[in-house]
Structure 1
């Protein structure tokens, strides 16, 4: 897309587009001014929009400004200058991280680096080990391909959902390696759809429901299918053991999600961004990707049954950690309001 279209999408996403031209005799309106010779992270647009009279400057040139009514010059005196060259940091509530969002002159030479910075800027500050370290480059290549092919994020999510279903069926019949291959591709696409939505500024209500709903529902179904698939191996799980394992996993999974929701409701932030430890533990906590790493190691050792047992134990241990985090937060609040360590200057 053109840079002007990219900026228009930012404006629409932030509901910063007037419903129509002002009527006769209408009072002058404030103006959002942007230099299309620069590309910048959408977080800067959101920040400047929320700060009337502010102007973002890079290399001595105005890049983005929120001009009060009656002012049409970003060089006008009295504006609050934010100097990008001083590398100011912003706290991104949606992605749960503090960083200096990018601003770059847009040229043919800088465009590839801008694409890369836009992609990595769309990563959450607290995520799992595999998403953060194993496949970012592969997901970056696929995100770029999807954008250039004109695929929407919902199209990518739909492709991923089909792979997710196929992996489930393969797990259930004990064809674990094939299932892992499709499951791995699905997990990568689960990164791609979100990054594509943020980089192309095409997030939608339905896309958010579709993506997060799929993420919420499929992991327990995978674990059950994995357990059923052991019946085709040399070490099958009998019904009693499988029921006990699934009860433990499901109870821990539901309780962890409940604790995360209670934490947000009580403290206005995610449980994974309160302290450094909480962000670090998010790398390993019993979510889908760390659990899949456990199953992969167990399968390589020839014991998929032990892998599912290990997932159950790790889920219960992670639940204890989450419960400790919640109780610790309530105790800490007695000494004053809680703040995320990522939101600190």
Structure 2
């Protein structure tokens, strides 16, 4: 039976919790998560039932949805369940409404207190997503867990360590103001274009300041989309399209802006630098795409511990901006762009070597396993 021919599963909530999460009622959040996963208001083919007294990571929802008859509990009380029949749904709803344990029934009960783990398919790792009672006292803790659980992929050093707390505050503000992720992306796009213009004029400090705002907003829009369950096809295209297209323009206009500092490169050096940076940027993306295609959508940066570490500093936009920032401390933006070119070449070579090594290992062992799933 294909996904398109499977019977539709219903989504239901029990209770009426007045405590909002990310500016939404818990019932509305649950409805959005259900709709995003193809659930319908009513069905004769089972139902996923949520207890409105609890907030949970969407990963739990997907896990319970994939396992009919499963019940996730806290303190014995069902928090999320997949009832296969109307009779089972009635049992679950009664237990949730009365805040008690299930009495009888052929369910697979998973107690959250036992520390159950489920697979994060994106990172090939097992983890225990959050589940908490939703009260005014726990809302900030829940929103924090939801924010940091929205995307756990390996990333660059700035996104991982410098601005997560700032982006959390901005995500909360955006949610309370009712802003959509596309609004945040649009503001970021304006900042991105303005930074490019500043680089072209040699106003590097202003460009970097504006670029920093854009880079933080680039985190906020994705977090807001996941936390408020408002991801969309257009939003993904809008956000990722800007991310993919703008870096080459930044490096080009940074280089042409050197003329305002009396540090312009010779035509020969300009061509060499651009071939290294622009060609390396494209080639590195191609290598990453080939790796994913050859290894079941597993990203190159989650293969071995070294790969995850190298993602922190590899020649992407944010690490390159660190290089350029350091060069500006010495008032030598030309050194910075030359260093970016060399680092791009080095990063490209390392990625190519890792792709070759992956092919050797896959040929020997049949498949690759992410280090995140080990142990």
TM-score, reference length from structure 2: 0.87
CA separation in 1, counterparts of 2:229 and 2:123?
14
Deviating more after overlay: 332-341 vs 125-134: 332-341
Residue 25 of structure 1: aligned partner: none
- Asked if 1:47 is matched to 2:71, the reply is no
Partner secondary structure for residue 365 of structure 2: coil
Cα distance change, pair 160–97 in 1 and its aligned pair in 2 (3 A): farther
Residue 71 of structure 1: aligned partner: 88
Number of matched residues? Answer: 338
- Asked if 1:300 is matched to 2:329, the reply is yes
Cα distance change, pair 107–198 in 1 and its aligned pair in 2 (3 A): same
Residues 124, 370 of structure 2: 8 Å contact kept: no
- Asked if 1:336 is matched to 2:363, the reply is no
CA separation in 2, counterparts of 1:97 and 1:136?
22
Cα distance change, pair 176–195 in 1 and its aligned pair in 2 (3 A): same
1:96, distance to aligned residue in structure 2 (A): 6.4
- Asked if 1:214 is matched to 2:237, the reply is no
Residue 278 of structure 2: aligned partner: 250
1:290, distance to aligned residue in structure 2 (A): 0.4
Residues 222-261 of structure 1 aligned to structure 2 (within 5 Å):
222-261=250-289
- Which residue, 163, 166, 178 being the options, matches 1:150? 178
1:339, distance to aligned residue in structure 2 (A): 1.7
Partner secondary structure for residue 32 of structure 1: strand
- Which residue, 306, 314, 329 being the options, matches 2:343? 314
1:98, distance to aligned residue in structure 2 (A): 4.1
- Asked if 1:8 is matched to 2:35, the reply is no
CA separation in 1, counterparts of 2:252 and 2:180?
31
Residue 57 of structure 1: aligned partner: 73
Cα distance change, pair 84–331 in 1 and its aligned pair in 2 (3 A): same
Partner secondary structure for residue 88 of structure 2: coil
**Deviations 1:161-192, CA, capped at 9 Å, x for gaps:** 00000000000110000000000000000000
Structure 1 residue runs of 5 or longer lacking an equivalent are 23-27
CA separation in 2, counterparts of 1:96 and 1:286?
24
Residue 12 of structure 2: aligned partner: none
CA separation in 1, counterparts of 2:119 and 2:198?
42
Residues 137-176 of structure 1 aligned to structure 2 (within 5 Å):
137-176=165-204
- Which residue, 104, 108, 118 being the options, matches 2:132? 104
1:62, distance to aligned residue in structure 2 (A): 1.1
1:336, distance to aligned residue in structure 2 (A): 2.8
Residue 120 of structure 2: aligned partner: 92
CA separation in 1, counterparts of 2:262 and 2:107?
73
What is the root-mean-square deviation in Å for CA atoms of aligned residues? 1.4
Structure 2 residue runs of 5 or longer lacking an equivalent are 1-23, 93-101
1:16, distance to aligned residue in structure 2 (A): 1.5
CA separation in 1, counterparts of 2:230 and 2:35?
10
1:78, distance to aligned residue in structure 2 (A): 2.1
Residue 29 of structure 1: aligned partner: 45
Partner secondary structure for residue 71 of structure 1: helix
